[in-house]
Structure 1
Amino acid sequence: MLENSSPAFNHEHFLKYLTGEPGVYRMYDVRGDVIYVGKAKNLKKRVASYFRKTVDNVKTQTLVNNIVDMDVTIVSSETEAFLLENNYIKKYRPRYNVVLRDDKSYPFIFISEHEHPRLSFHRGPKKKKGEYFGPYPSAWSVRESLRSMQKIFPIRQCEDSYYRARSRPCLQYQMKRCSAPCVKGFVSDEDYNEQVKLAAMFLRGKNTQVISTLVGRMEDASVNLNFEAAARYRDQISALRKVQEQQFVSGTQQELDVFGFAFRNGIACIFGIFIRDNQVLGSKSFFPKIPKGSIDKEVFESFLLQFYLAGNKLIPQQIVIPIKFDEMHTVEVVLSQEAKRKVKFYEGVRDEKRKYLQIANNNAENSLETQQNQQKSIFARFTHLEKILELDSPIKRMECFDISHTSGEQTVASCVVFDRNGPLKSDYRTFNIDGITPGDDYAAMAQAIKRRYKSPTNDAKLPDLLIIDGGKGQLSQAESHFKDWPEDKKPLIIGVAKGTSRKPGLETLIYAYSHETIAVDFDSPGLHLVQHIRDESHRFAITGHRARRHKVKTTSPLQDIPGIGPKKRQMLYKYTGGLHGLKKASKAEIAKVPGIGQDLADIIYDYLHS
């Protein structure tokens, strides 16, 4: 690929030497930011169309007025141009492009290839050996499916480290949600693997075959007078039939994605229904960022490419689309090459596809209306808060900090971000706090603020309003950090102190530096906005803390000792009665564990008691 660029933009000079080959062009503003990325079969014709004397599109006129420089990347085909354009949009997130906000990979259900396979949630590259089912539209739908399957198939869902360390069955066995393959004598390998196969069949949508198999097993057990096993099969069949009844849409489509579309007042909603193995895995609403003046065809085409080319998403053989767009055939070719099989678009005009498309369009309209009402509410809250704080300029970005820990351990600070559309989750951050006195919330707050706002020069996204969850003590940490910053760089800082009863509506807002309190009515929309971001920062801090605490729980303290692998750890726990027993054991007792010896026992003892 060949790159061309001009240091000082002059469109006539630029077009004079521009090639007619396929490629991608980037437009820059006065700050050097990429404001638009486009693709073209013929670069010269496409770029020249922006500078015609008669351009009616307001978006194009505004875009052209902001161009200071351009460059192009020449590629070998139009298909390659589509792929490169998508990569550039993802990288630069330009102001005048339609940008999909949620481009993360979708989760899968994973069955591992262990001796006793594990059923688990998976997101990311498929590096582990095993079978992947999905993708599902949300983590919630995966966890709901795993919960349902746990009641039907007694397959382990525990972490490998937990599974290896067991010497007796856990609570899941007592609740009949696991057959305890971790302990010998509770389930044979043959019976366990049969349940794994049935679970895989269930995930492929072969519910009827699974039920038929279980019915046969139940009858055989009854004939052999094994009534306990027959009762287990009966319960499995009953649970499976309940799951079948709960599926809200059933059909005959093996692999299909259906998209509904609604576009009104500058907001677009694309609603996706995802079908795999004759089952509706779930659905999701998408609200891409849209520049003013965009048309529906452009919005939907951009969404479709960014959605499927974001990586780690299964591209189905059939995609039902709500509207035609100009480059449908080329996009089909691009997706087919990416999927390495034939991908075809359908307009949903017949039978079952029409039914699904109608459901998707109805949901898109409903989601769009809900989003618009929510935006009106959020806008009103921002406006009211600006009046309360007597601000001359609007609040475009606000951030809130909170601290979470358990008795001072595994302290985590959260930073939550809102813009005028509400929560901006892509900018949320958590900070693992170390090197402080356990339980010192003031020091934790100071460390988090210092790490978030390093200096006034290199912080591109400074908030207009910074909210600290806490009283004057926490507020003083922010005051100290920003004390020497230039006045035009300092954010407005307020603290949120809970009332004596800690009930919502009785909070006190406190200005930084002056420590003046702000009078706010309990039913004030501005206060509701502050409560919203405060509660969100609290939720996010607790989530981060729980994740850190879980990681510590599931990590063995012996993992850092050289020469202690999984087998020796298991032997140590088995012979001493777990970590608690190992800490109580003497060096001589540790040395008696098979495969340890005196030298290693000395190292283990000293490590655990240092």
Structure 2
Amino acid sequence: MTEPDQEMPQKSGHEVIRDYLRTLDASPGVYRMLDAQARVLYVGKARNLRARVSSYARPTGHTGRIARMISETATMMFLTTATETEALLLEQNLIKQLKPRYNVLLRDDKSFPNILVTSHDFPMIKKHRGAKREKGSYYGPFASAGAVNRSLAQLQRVFQLRNCSDAMFESRTRPCLQYQIKRCTAPCVGQISKDDYRAQVGDAQRYLSGKSTEIQEKLAAQMAEASEAMEFERAAALRDRIKAMTQVQTAQGINPRSVDEADIVALHLEKGQACVQVFFIRGGQNWGNRDFYPRVGVDVEEAEVLEAFLGQFYDSKDPPRHLILSHEIENPDLMQQALSDKLGRKVTLAVPLRGEKAELIDGALRNARESLARKMAETATQSKLLKGLAEAFDLPGPPKRIEVYDNSHIQGTNAVGAMIVAGAEGFMKNHYRKFNIQGEGLTPGDDFGMMKEVLSRRFKRLLKEDPDRTQGTWPDLLLIDGGAGQVSAVAQIMREMGVEDIPMVGVAKGVDRDHGKEEFHRTGKRVMALRHNDPVLYFVQRLRDEAHRFAIGTHRAKRAKSMGATPLDEVPGVGAARKRALLAHFGSAKAVSRANLADLRAVDGVSDALAQRLYDFFHDRG
């Protein structure tokens, strides 16, 4: 007989799942499986929720991964949708947000750069990343910033479009260096007519749209005309532009004849790891490729991985008209419908078996295999280094997450703190963080005070967002750029916050501040050093140098921004266009601050209300 105060045995996973079947119907929707601590284990979609969930209620017949997931399930959550397509989109969105342990997860989801030709009387050509809010024509995506920069450099040689900002363009009184080296036609000072410049812009846009042959024929005809007219300097300039265009096409490597707009997506699985290669083909031109390493399990199939990748990858990006895949996916019709709805036009999915498209897939698969082999070799090396780090600093085990901190400033101005993160797979750049130093009581150049502020803010946030340390965001090791003083200051902060169980090492320059003679400081222990040829020493140096690089870059960006700032930036309703108009009219922000109400109203684009707001703002300040 069971005692009254004795707890009943907790139901196992498939029994918990079976209890939910009574409340489910045949609607499409999304389900979530959660463990006893309410952590999301898995997010899935279903055409028929009851049928899909019933498959988990069986105690046998599952792969090892699914069996483990079921055994850990304590509760479930459900959300019905109108269609299965909506369920697919919601599923991938939730996976990206919640990062469940048993889902295939795309870990690197940065935006891709584009080339933007702006909307202006004399358009500029430039690199653009992020939301497409600025008016103009966008061409992309390109696989990397380097791919865009190389293309822009060659396009400058061919089409000679301006790349200066509108403010600089409007303030020029004579041609800049770009004109002297034949990279721009100097429309800012009237060296080319508006119509001729527009013709160059049109040629550049046609080229970016894939009509390169047409442009080359046009330039060749113009070169022949110039030669016949004995305009040899003009003919030589046109010859150089044709040569530059040929170099662009040669550098692109793959330029498929039968594919105008597509992403080539190839997957290679090996030993529980995956690599997806994506080649971007636009306008019949190869605009580069990127490799991705989604998180997968040992018993997943290609169809599941590739479908999850496509859903998450195109959740925040516009798909092209065609997707050429290396493997079939589980729900091709559903994915095609979802992507077509997103783009507003038909998107097709294909797994080619022969012809040029199959050759493109073979090339992408080869890249995926080679990239994964390199990644696995690097991971093995990284594991050895982490193990060596644990032995060198008497850590309980190889750290899974190392956080490295550094500060950067010039005599205390534009001070920033930087945090970089490294783990078993190398630098985790999407976890890097920057901190604008806010402490008003800090003495300029007080490195101890800055480090205290950075660490306080970091761990206050951790204690608030992940107090149970279950989300993998807590570090196993802190590396601080500094010696005994820095370590003591940080240790004091950690004690005050009740976080004293995280190992911390201060990395200080040693004798003569030489690279290779670093000293390591730890709380309550003697100063130590590593052999000059120890791989662990080189590893720590790389970590510290990466933190220093990130801190310096963040500081320079902040300083550049502050140098261009004016009091006008603080006035509500004054955007970039009105700021330019005010500065052009008065000559400086100081002159704007001294202007009377009537003069402010005389500026183009400044309404009576804004003029009054400007006048009141500067008078209140005074």
Place the TM-score, normalised by the shorter chain, in its bin. 0.7 to 0.9
5+ residue gaps, structure 1, are 1-5, 574-578
**Percent of aligned pairs with the same amino acid:** 37
Equivalent positions of 1:398-417 (< 5 A) are 398-417=402-421
- Counterpart in 2 of 1:192? 197
- Structure 2 residue aligned with 1:67: 73
1:317 matched to which residue of 2?
A: 321
Give the length in aligned residue pairs: 585
Check the 8 A contact 2:395/2:503 in 1, yes or no. no
Q: Which moved more, 1:407-416 or 1:216-225?
A: 216-225
Equivalent position of 1:569 in the other structure: 583
Q: TM-score, normalised by structure 1?
A: 0.88
1:523 aligns with 2:533: yes
Residue 114 of structure 1 aligns to a residue whose secondary structure is coil
CA contact (8 A) 1:25 1:70 kept: yes
Structure 1 pair 398–78 and aligned structure 2 pair: CA distance change class (3 A)? same
Report what 2:476 is aligned to: 464
Correspondent of 1:499 among 510, 516, 530 = 510
Q: Is contact 2:116-2:136 (8 Å) kept? A: yes
Q: In the TM superposition, what are the counterparts of 1:49-68 in structure 2 within 5 Å? A: 49-68=55-74
Structure 1 residues 110-509: aligned runs within 5 Å: 110-183=116-189, 185-222=190-227, 226-252=231-257, 253-308=259-314, 310-311=315-316, 313-434=317-438, 435=440, 436-454=442-460, 457-458=463-464, 460=466, 461-486=473-498, 489-509=500-520
Q: Secondary structure at the match of 1:355?
A: helix
RMSD (Å), alpha carbons: 3.2
- Decide whether aligned partners of structure 1 residues 503 and 153 sit closer, same or farther in structure 2, where only a CA change above 3 A counts: farther
Q: Deviations over 1:189-211 (max 9, x none)?
A: 12222221121122112222222
For residues 16-49 of structure 1, the C-alpha deviation after alignment (integer angstroms, 9 at most, x for no partner) is 2221221110011122111100011111121111
Instruction: Give the gaps of 5 or more residues in structure 2.
Output: 1-10, 467-472, 604-610
**Deviation of 1:376 (Å):** 0.2
Task: Name the residue aligned to 1:3.
Answer: none
Partners in 1 of 2:169 and 2:561 — Cα distance? 15
Secondary structure in 1 matching 2:296: coil
**Larger RCO: 1 or 2 (CA < 8 Å, sep 6+):** 1
SS in 2 for 1:517: coil
1:285-340 C-alpha deviation (Å, 9 max, x unpaired): 110012343222211211121112x22x2312222211223322222222222222
> Please, which moves more after superposition, 247-256 or 503-512?
503-512
Give distance in 2, aligned partners of 1:173 and 1:441. Answer: 45
For 1:16, which of 12, 22, 34 is the aligned residue? 22
Q: 1:12 to 1:205 in 2, by over 3 A?
A: closer
Q: CA deviation at 1:375?
A: 0.4
Give the aligned partner of residue 98 of structure 1: 104
Cα distance between partner residues in 2 of 1:76 and 1:595: 56
Q: Cα–Cα, structure 1 residues 439 and 583, in superposed 2: closer, same or farther, change >3 Å?
A: farther
Superposition TM-score, scaled by structure 2 size = 0.86
Task: Give a deviation string over 1:552-580, Cα, whole Å, max 9, x none.
Answer: 3444565557997423412444xxxxx7x
Partner residue in 1 for 2:4: none
Deviation at 1:501, TM superposition (A): 4.5
User: SS where residue 111 of structure 1 aligns?
Assistant: strand
Deviation at 1:60, TM superposition (A): 0.9
What are the Cα deviations for residues 422-441 of structure 1, in whole angstroms up to 9, with x where unaligned? 22222110112244444333
Would the aligned equivalents of 1:260 and 1:360 in 2 still touch at CA under 8 Å?
Answer: yes
CA contact (8 A) 1:453 1:459 kept: no
2:562 equivalent among 535, 552, 557: 552
Query: Which residue is equivalent to 2:607?
Result: none
- Please point out which of 69, 74, 87 is paired with 1:81: 87
Letter in 2 for 1:210: I
Distance 2:443 2:120 in 1: 43
Write out per-residue CA displacement over residues 365-409 of structure 1, whole angstroms, 9 at most, x where no aligned residue. 000100000000111111111111222244221100112234543
